[in-house]
Amino acid sequence: MRPTTPSESLRDAVDRTATTAEEIHKAVADLPLRVLERAGLFDDTVAAARRFQTDAIGAVYDVVRQVNQRVGELADDLLDETDDAGPRAY
C-alpha cells in the first residue's frame, strides 16, 4: 500500500530505515559467532547466543517501529486538529 499523506510517507521511511538498520545490526553482531562456529568452538553456546541476540535485536527494533507508529498517529491527530481549526490570522 502506498502512503497517502506526508506523515504516512515519513512513517514508512522511518520503518524502512529501522528495518535496514536492524538487518545491519544483526549481520554485524553475527560476525563473532560465525568465527566461533568456523573454529568449532562452543557450538551449543553459539546457537543459543545467536537465538538470544536475534530476539533481543528484533525486540529493540520492534519498539522503534511501535514508537514510530504512535508518533505518526499523534502527528495525524495534530494535523487534523489544525485543519479543523481553519486558517489562522496573525
- Residue 89 inside a domain? The answer is no
1 — pLDDT class (breaks 50, 70, 90): low
Q: 2-34: per-residue pLDDT in tens?
A: 777 788 888 999 999 999 999 999 999 999 999
pTM for the predicted model, two decimal places: 0.77
Domain that holds residue 29: 6-82
- Residue 88 inside a domain? The answer is no
The tally of domains found in the chain comes to: 1
Cα separation of 13 and 20, whole Å? Answer: 11
- Residue 90 inside a domain? The answer is no
- Residue 11 inside a domain? The answer is yes
Cα separation of 3 and 11, whole Å? Answer: 9
Number of Cα atoms under 13 Å in the Cβ half of residue 18: 19
Q: 63-88: per-residue pLDDT in tens?
A: 999 999 999 889 888 887 776 666 65
